[in-house]
Amino acid sequence: MTRRRIRLCVALVVLLGIRTACAAERPNVLIFFVDDMGWMDSSTYGSQFYETPNLNRLAEGGLKFTQAYAMPLCSPSRACLLTGRHAGARMQLHKAITGGSQANPIVPESANPREAMCWPESRSHLPRDEVTIADSFKAAGYRTHFLGKWHLGNGPKFEPIQRGFDTQLAVGGAGPGPSYFAPYSRLQGLGDAPKGEYICDRLTAETIKLFDQRSEEPFFIYLAHFNVHSPYQAPKSLVAKYQRKAAELPANAGQRHPIMGAMIESMDRSLGQILDALDEQGLAKDTLIVFASDNGGVHWAGGKPGQVAADVPITSNSPLRGGKAAHTEGGVRVPMVVRWPDHVPVGSTKHLTHLMDIYPTLASACQVPLPKGKLLDGVNAWKQWTGQEATPARTLLFEHFPRRKTLVDTVGASFVRKGDWKLVRLWGAGKDRTNRHELYDLSNDIGETRNRAEEHPDMTQEMSLLLDQWLASTGALLPRKNPAFEPARPKAAK
């Protein structure tokens, strides 16, 4: 389906009268999206190092999620958020988009003889026939704006304004380019930036400008910050502040990277300025805010030689295991807070949710029709967000991450969550390249330290079958044994 036909179909739904409320009765929407911010990377979620008073403020006036999930990497997570569909399974988009991504991914027939498995390729862009949340909100009368990190395809035909957004700014890839400070060599529409301007500050100012320039129609703003992705850079005064804090910590403290602390606080200041602007303009009660991150934090040293704390891990997701680029909880469990005064009650919820749920849930909140003919993996949890129903909207959660190697030293994996239990399938990691399964009870083992698969064979089999059925229903590309594989020969004894 072409982009033009998508727009026509979505617009037709609105014109047929399915929309039941006028624009004045619907909230503005702001999605405040952070890059590489782990579940524990804020004082809101328990960090003793990072300072996030404004995220605390948002949570104190809204609903804090303790079991919100994303994909392990940025591009697939953003595709999930925008489409309400599973990028890794349905779109064959499970890796960050790079020069090695493919327009039409396949599972190769064979691989290097040293590789036990043939791993699926990953897509190079958000498929053109996908309907986005911006498509739907625009067709329903919202003014739609994108600012920041896009990372869903290179070239004009894949940009935000081709995916339902009225305006776009920056439209970066993995990061902002070689520097967070102006001049920006790879970002659109920012050629007027004064030298030394920090990109986080500029995106904040441009977002507030959209409040100032708003029309009668409600706005839908997707602010996708580059913070706290590499390259690790922040204002010097804030870095110095966190150097002083880190100096007081033991050498084995998990969170002690001064630049990361400064980048987190810069992001939090952005949130505070936006909340202040909404208050000052009388928009706070009319604006539904969703705060979330795209994946877990970077749990390895990522600095450059000569940089402050170059050999210190960027952050720690403890008590969760692992971090970014892994199927473990540290890679996929993320912070998420929702606020809409007088509609979303203040509190905390353990309900399972995923970035995919944001699209159908916001559509319900704003009386925006969902696309016809598209099966969404996301669920509508609006009644749960507003406290109208106590029963969870989502009882199962699936993930498909068939990457050759994760950053917790395992092969790629898929998993299913059912209640407190999580079954992980490590592709080709068992005897004779069969799949290995791990079963965890997250209610008392959030760090995934004790594999219970042998203790609970029936549950392992039941959840494995659920995973099989889901993968088959999505058309996911699956790893397979490499026919050219030549096992390493054991070294001869001396």
110 & 183 share domain = yes
CATH number for position 254: 3.40.720.10
Other Cβ atoms less than 10 A from the Cβ of 385: the count is 28
The pLDDT value recorded for residue 172 is 85
CA distances from 117 to 325, 415, 434 (A): 19, 18, 10
What's the rounded Cα separation, in Å, for the pair 132 and 153?
A: 14
354 & 443 share domain = no
Q: What is the pLDDT along the chain (494 residues), one digit of tens a residue?
A: 555 555 555 554 444 443 434 444 799 999 999 999 999 999 999 999 999 999 999 999 999 999 999 999 999 999 999 999 999 999 999 999 998 999 999 999 999 999 999 999 999 999 999 999 999 999 999 999 999 999 999 999 999 999 999 999 999 899 999 999 999 989 999 989 999 999 999 999 999 999 999 989 999 999 999 999 999 999 999 999 999 999 999 999 999 999 999 999 999 999 999 999 999 999 999 999 999 999 999 999 988 888 899 999 999 999 999 999 999 999 999 999 999 999 999 999 999 999 999 999 999 999 999 999 889 999 999 999 999 999 999 999 999 999 998 887 888 999 999 999 999 999 999 999 999 999 999 999 999 999 999 999 999 999 999 999 999 999 999 999 999 999 887 776 66
CATH number for position 475: 3.30.1120.10
Contacts of 374 (CB under 8 A, 6+ apart): 85, 130, 131
Closest CA relative to residue 193, chosen from 208, 181, 177, 209: 181
Q: Phi, psi at residue 436, to the nearest 5°? A: -105, 140
Q: Using CA of residue 321, residue 327, residue 329, residue 330, what is the dihedral sign?
A: positive
Structural domain contains residue 2? no
307 & 163 share domain = yes
Structural domain contains residue 21? no
Q: Using CA of residue 341, residue 164, residue 69, residue 180, what is the dihedral sign?
A: negative
377 & 404 share domain = no
Structural domain contains residue 106? yes
Structural domain contains residue 492? no
309 & 419 share domain = no
The pLDDT value recorded for residue 25 is 79
Please tell me whether residue 237 adopts helix, strand or coil conformation. Answer: helix
Structural domain contains residue 195? yes
What's the rounded Cα separation, in Å, for the pair 235 and 365?
A: 38
Q: Residue 357 sits in which domain range?
A: 10-16+26-395
What string of DSSP letters covers 89-110? HHS---S---TT-BSS----S-
Number of domains in the chain: 2
Q: Which amino acid is at 56?
A: N
What's the rounded Cα separation, in Å, for the pair 369 and 441?
A: 38
Closest CA relative to residue 13, chosen from 363, 445, 295: 363
The pLDDT value recorded for residue 6 is 55
| Partner residues linked to 292 by β-bridges | 33, 336
| Partner residues linked to 63 by β-bridges | 338, 347
